[in-house]
Structure 1
Amino acid sequence: MIARAELRDAPLDVAAHLADVAAPTSGASALFVGTVRDHDPDASGEVVRLDYSAHPDAARILADLAGDLDAEGLRIAVSHRTGSLAVGDTAIVCAVSSAHRADAFDVCRALVESVKTGLPVWKKQVEADGSAAWIGLGGTAR
């Protein structure tokens, strides 16, 4: 069951995602929280923020990506931020619950990887000196 699949321009609530996937039938929950870091191998200096933008169909595509991994006994909650995020801000939350831990771990990881490669959300990486570069121009509309 897809409990949540959303793009937001407001902070993401990790506890709400865990609550979304809680169920009496679930014996395991796996959680991934991706945050903005202050460095990147391609940056020439300190990263101070990421500006995320999304294709108009991105919310639907996120729901489709989650739906592609949905199976009996799973509960899935995934959200991705848009807008300007400072170092330390949460960019993505993915929570998955299932009867057993292996399924929760496997689906959580697969969904995060799928979002990374398939969601048309792009980020502009801004450095302390004011320089900027577009990162991760992958993701295509489905």
Structure 2
Amino acid sequence: LTELIVFEPRVYFEEYCDGIMDECFYVKHYEKEKFIELVDYFSLKKRIEFLRNYEGKYCAPFDFGRAEALFNAISLELMHEKPDEKILISLREKLEPVLIMAEEKLRYAMKKELPCYRNRLSENVRYWKP
């Protein structure tokens, strides 16, 4: 299992006041927000973590490995001072079908309780589910 490279953007808040009732509220923003939204980064991260947490490496090893590598490439691109939009879009387009395939294989294994999923899961929680 490789280490997942995760881009952790800085968070800042912008204050908005209405001027009439002197009510102010804050809006949360992220560093490089435009690029994060361009690739829907947080959604991708959640999907990769799903595969990691539920033994995707055993039920869809090729797709899982490829999805992780492409996600890591997106994370690394976002870490650049000025990320390249074209590279991010290209990586996202390559990642999406691979991620869908890995998720489908894992969900199928979960539903059918295939050994790639069931045996690995039982090792982690110390019980055997027939």
TM-score (normalised: structure 1): 0.29
Q: Which has the higher contact order (CA 8 A, sep 6+)?
A: 1
Larger radius of gyration: 2
